Each structure stands twice: as structure tokens, then as C-alpha cells.
Amino acid sequence: MMADEVTNAARAAKEHATTGQPTIFAKILDGTIPAEIIHNDDKCIAFKDINPQAPTHFLVIPRKPLEMLEKVEDSDQDLLGHLMLTAKKTHPPYFLNRLRQNKA
């Protein structure tokens, strides 16, 4: 299942990159698509997933478009750290449980 998600995400990223159309995340950021925002700052927002796969399922996305992790640069280090800390602060029990499950 994870491979399918990765394939679908890569395909969607490629399609949006070639069409120039805004992604669903860009639409959430600009308010075109409504979302239940649970955190909002100058670097990112966190919002509840509309189709949760767990009792507490939320996403943290940067305001700066980052197409893929493979394409981030050293200059994005502070932003990536901020995203992780935001996830932790937004819902500590959920974040810690996920880390434990992943044996991080």
C-alpha cells in the first residue's frame, strides 16, 4: 500500500509541476479549499485530515512549496525542523506514539 501512495504522490507532483496548476496544499494555504486549521504560523499550518486513518490524523505543511524531500536543500534545514517541532507541539501524544511505532 505504501508503494502505491508513493507512486501516486510522485505522479501528482509531476502533473502539477508540468501543468502549473496549484496543488491541493496550495489551495488549502490560500483558503480556496477549507480546512480545519489546528496550528497556523508564518512557516507552516497544521490541519485535520478530511479522511482520517487514525483517531488523531493531521497534516503539517510548509508555506514554502517543497515538491519532494529529495529536492530540499541545506537551506531548508530550519524549516524542516520547524515542521517536526510543530507536529510535536500540535499533538504531543500522537507524535510520540508515531515515533515509538517507527522506533525513531
Mean pLDDT to the nearest integer, 2-7: 60
pLDDT at 96: 61
Write out pLDDT tens, residues 31-64: 999 999 999 999 999 999 988 887 778 999 999 9
Would you call 40 exposed, middle or buried from its count of C-beta atoms within 10 A (0-12, 13-18, 19+)? exposed
Backbone angles phi, psi at 38, to 5 degrees: -115, -10
Judged by average pLDDT, the poorest of 5-9, 49-53, 70-74 is 5-9
pTM summary value:
0.70
Domain boundaries, the chain: 25-101
Is 25-101 in CATH node 3.20.20.20? no
